[in-house]
Amino acid sequence: MFSFSPTVELTVIALAPGFRAISILVEASKVQHPQVARDALNDACHAVIAQDVPYAEAHIAAWREAFKAFGAKPARTPSSVEALRKRVVRDGSLPAIDPVVDLYNAISIKYALPIGGENAAAYVGDARLVRADGSERFDTLNAGEPCEETPEPGEVIWRDDLGVTCRRWNWRQGVRTRLDASAQHMWFILESLPEMPMDALHQASDELIAGLQAMMPGCRVEKQLLGAGFS
C-alpha cells in the first residue's frame, strides 16, 4: 500500500469535541462494474426521501454549529452532505458524474455523512486537517476559469504541503486533487460528529469499501479511524 498518513490538528478537535473520521486508502484497479455506483446512487436517493436514517437531522444540525464555530455561514456555505441532500429533496435524484464519485456521494447522502474523495497521488506530503492562518493557497474555478483563493484565518481546512485541498472543512474541494475513476491512489475521508452513532460510521465505511471492491475487483484497501484518542 502507498504511504499516506492523514492527521487531525488538536485545534480542530478543540473546536468540535467528539469529531471522528474514517480514512480509507485505496490502490485502485480498473472499474469493471460501474453499475454498482449507479445502483447505489439511485438507492440512496430513494432512501433519503422514503426512509431516512434517524440521526440525519441532528447530525446535519451539528455540522451547521461546527461551521459557525469557525466563522462560516452554513446557510451560504453548507457542509457537503447538506448541499447534496438538499439537491436530492429538491430534484429527487443526483446526476451521475463518475463511478467513484457517484459511489461515495451515494454513501454520503444515505448516511447523512460528509465524505471527501481525493486523488492521493496529487498530494504533496500528507493530508492535514488544520485551522488556516489565511495565507494558504486554494486552487479553484471561477466562471469555469482557474483561479486561486485564500481561506479566512481560523477556517478549518484540509491541506498538504502545497496548499488547501478542501475549504471550510468539507464545503468545497480543490481542483488539483480532484478524484475520478482513472486515479490509481485514492483517499476517502468520512467525517462525523457525536450525533452520528459510531456503529453507523463504521457501517457507512464498510459499505463504501464493499462498493469499491465490487466495482473495482482486485483493489487494495486500508481503513483507519482518526480523531481524539485515535492514532
Whether 125 shows a pLDDT value over 60: the answer reads yes
Provide the 3-class DSSP secondary structure of residue 201.
Answer: helix
In this structure, the strands spanning 164-167 and 20-27 are unpaired
DSSP H or E run through 211? helix 198-215
Q: Which three cell numbers stand for residue 47?
A: 432512501
229 pLDDT band, cuts 50/70/90, is low
pLDDT in the model for residue 230 = 65
Please give the Cα distance from 135 to 220 (Å, whole number). 36
Per the CB < 8 A criterion, the answer to whether 13 and 223 are in contact is no
pLDDT in the model for residue 45 = 97
pLDDT in the model for residue 143 = 80
Whether 231 shows a pLDDT value over 60: the answer reads no
144 pLDDT band, cuts 50/70/90, is confident
pLDDT tens profile 192-226: 999 999 999 999 999 999 999 999 999 999 999 99
**pLDDT averaged over every residue in the chain:** 96
Please give the Cα distance from 10 to 4 (Å, whole number). 19
Nearest CA to 215 among 21, 13, 36? 36
Using CA atoms, how far residue 188 sits from 69, 89, 223, in Å, is 25, 25, 9
DSSP readout, 74-110? TTTS--HHHHHHHHHHHHSS-----HHHHHHHHHHHH
**Number of helices (H), then strands (E), in the chain:** 6, 11
